[in-house]
A and B are shown apart, each in its own frame.
Chain A
Amino acid sequence: SAVISQKPSRDICQRGTSLTIQCQVDSQVTMMFWYRQQPGQSLTLIATANQGSEATYESGFVIDKFPISRPNLTFSTLTVSNMSPEDSSIYLCSVVLPGRGRQYFGPGTRLTVL
């Protein structure tokens, strides 16, 4: 299994500012994903972050708004830039372990933008 931690667990931010969310995994993984869960909604994939390459963004998400870093096989960051109240969501990272079919999710970061 994989143990995933995220920091911060929650934050309240002002409009126009940026927040960087950290995701730490207790084992080396190639594939890491960032999801967003808006209030009362299901999860939506933001991007795939593979170590050694640029993140791949899903339709509707752009690098300028959600820059991602993946400096090594156990860590990634997602920045939510120039925030607006519409960015208020839970942001989750997840990983797929090599050779395993299942995906593991972090506990999420609850972001509120005022």
Chain B
Amino acid sequence: DAKTTQPNSMESNEEEPVHLPCNHSTISGTDYIHWYRQLPSQGPEYVIHGLTSNVNNRMASLAIAEDRKSSTLILHRATLRDAAVYYCILRANAGGTSYGKLTFGQGTILTVHP
């Protein structure tokens, strides 16, 4: 499986933007870039995903490098409830034998200060 590299931890202040980087230099052409987060004592929850173009949803934005070897999850205004472990994961396209499987790295622990 293609791997991702993320910083172990990041800190932010409340109401400020947060940029969470992820490197995935061995990404294949059909891998989707997924982001999940895990709040304390909860199961992971989906944040956003994309293939080549930048994506926006109500939770966050995903900026994907032109060569697809890196991406950045952007939380536009961090709140205390955004404190979580954020996982950047490459997921195989539908039809492949690995479809649906998520390989979790260690993720980035995001601390948000009031």
Contact = CB atoms under 8 A, between A and B. Distances in A.
The dominant DSSP class at the B interface is loop
Interface of A: 31, 33, 42-45, 48, 92, 94, 96, 101-108
A62 B101 CA distance: 17
8 contacts: A33-B101, A33-B102, A42-B87, A43-B44, A101-B49, A101-B91, A102-B34, A108-B43
Contacts of A92: 43-44
A106 B107 CA distance: 19
Given A101-B49, A106-B43, 9 more contacts: A31-B99, A45-B101, A45-B103, A96-B100, A101-B34, A102-B46, A105-B43, A107-B43, A108-B42
B42 A107 contact: yes
Contact of B100 (A44, A48, A105, A108): A48
B55 to A, nearest CB: 11
The dominant DSSP class at the A interface is strand
Contact of A105 (B45, B85, B106): B45
B104 A103 contact: no
A48 B107 CA distance: 22
Contacts of A108: 42-43
A92 B106 CA distance: 17
Nearest to A93: B43
Nearest to B101: A45
Nearest to B85: A42
